[in-house]
Amino acid sequence: MSQNKTLNLRNMVLIAMLGAVAFILMFLEIPLPFIAPAFYELDFSEVPVLIGTFSMGPVAGVVIELLKNLLHILIKGTSTAYVGEFANFLVGCALVVPAGIIYQRAKSKKHALVGMVVGTLVMVVAGSLVNAYVLLPWYANHFFAGAGGMDGILAAGAAVHAGAGTLLGFVMLCVAPFNLIKGIVVSAVTMLLYKRVSVVIKGHAAGRG
């Protein structure tokens, strides 16, 4: 009983720490102007979420993802009436939950890779749907209201890709490739860091897992 309480407390501390690191990484944003308009920026906040997911399971990953966005709201505030944070939470979970479930079946490098590939593909689909039906309509009505609304967003997409002048074209040529690149980059960084970080998170035994 005492050992279980210690492990639970330790996991709670780790979740809080990883959530804080993920929150900080949200501010390190990199635009990908050759892929999507400037208002899409790549960050590495899913890396600590994935590391926590592999170390403690997909439920922990969801909690870290939630904590990251709650900290963003509490400390920085929201400029999207919580729509952006909610979408970030959904898309982030679409990456880490499938990856965590697959990795939990057999904790090996192969299953980690398969999990991240599946998670990336799920994130691409989820990100496309969330953008098409939630984020883009919201941004069109609020941030682009004086610049043509949805037409203004699509024009920004068409400036990057000629075929992105329609909603479907924008999602297929801008949103989907952006999330695909994000998934690949986040997965690669996680693979480089996980074994080293897991030694700290779970002890030296985890480094052999």
Q: Is the pLDDT of residue 39 over 90?
A: no
Name the token pair of 157.
């997409």
Calpha distance 80→142 (Å, rounded): 8
Check if the beta carbon of residue 116 is closer than 8 Å to that of residue 124.
Answer: no
CATH class of 2-208: mainly alpha
Q: Is the pLDDT of residue 207 over 60?
A: no
Helix axes 83-105, 109-130, angle to 10 degrees: 150
- At 68-90, the pLDDT tens digits run 999 999 999 988 888 889 999 99
Confidence of residue 51 (pLDDT cuts 50, 70, 90): very high
**What is the chain's mean pLDDT, rounded?**
89
Calpha distance 100→107 (Å, rounded): 10
Check if the beta carbon of residue 15 is closer than 8 Å to that of residue 64.
Answer: yes
Report the range of poorest mean pLDDT among 29-38, 55-64, 102-111, 141-150: 141-150
Q: What is the amino acid identity at position 43?
A: D
Report the range of poorest mean pLDDT among 3-17, 27-41, 131-145, 146-160: 3-17
Q: Is the pLDDT of residue 3 over 60?
A: no
Q: Is the pLDDT of residue 204 over 50?
A: no
Could you tell me what percent of the chain has a pLDDT over 70? Answer: 92
State the pTM of this model. 0.88
